[in-house]
């Protein structure tokens, strides 16, 4: 490992799980809402619904929102569990084989020269 290379030796499980849960939930909510609304539009176009169309559309939009919310909750739980598993797996591999090595650079693309005694102060400055 060269002078300016750093190694990620361990990943905190809960922060990674929380980020994974949020990402999974947002994607599940957005995608299921888009699919639900699209299928409602296709259904309305094919059936030529007349009369109580407004009530039908509002009812289905409400149900679509509940489906999207349910999908987001389920995907968030799955994402949280997968985040815990991914962090534990990474920590196991990094402990036995070695972690990911990174080189940090400043805005001018110059490698950072961080002294061991100032590592926390210097790293969080950027």
Q: Residue 9 pLDDT more than 50?
A: yes
pTM of the model: 0.71
10: three-class secondary structure by DSSP: coil
* Gap between the terminal Cα atoms of the chain: 22
pLDDT digits (tens, 9 = 90+) for 52-104: 666 677 777 788 889 899 999 999 999 999 999 999 999 999 999 988 888 87
pLDDT at res. 1: 47
Reported as a pLDDT band with limits 50, 70 and 90, residue 39 is confident
SS3 101: strand
Is the pLDDT assigned to residue 14 strictly greater than 90? yes
């Amino acid at each position: 490992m060269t002078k300016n290379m750093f190694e990620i030796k361990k990943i905190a499980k809960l922060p990674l799980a929380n980020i994974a849960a949020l990402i999974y939930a947002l994607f599940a909510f957005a995608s299921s809402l888009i699919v639900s609304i699209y299928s409602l539009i296709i259904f309305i176009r094919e059936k030529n619904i007349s009369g109580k169309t407004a009530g039908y559309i509002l009812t289905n939009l409400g149900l679509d929102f509940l489906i999207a919310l349910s999908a987001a909750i389920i995907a968030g739980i799955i994402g949280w569990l997968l985040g815990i598993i991914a962090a534990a797996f990474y920590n196991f591999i990094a402990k036995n084989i070695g972690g990911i090595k990174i080189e940090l650079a400043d805005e001018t693309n110059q490698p950072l020269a961080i002294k061991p005694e100032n590592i926390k102060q210097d790293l969080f400055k950027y």
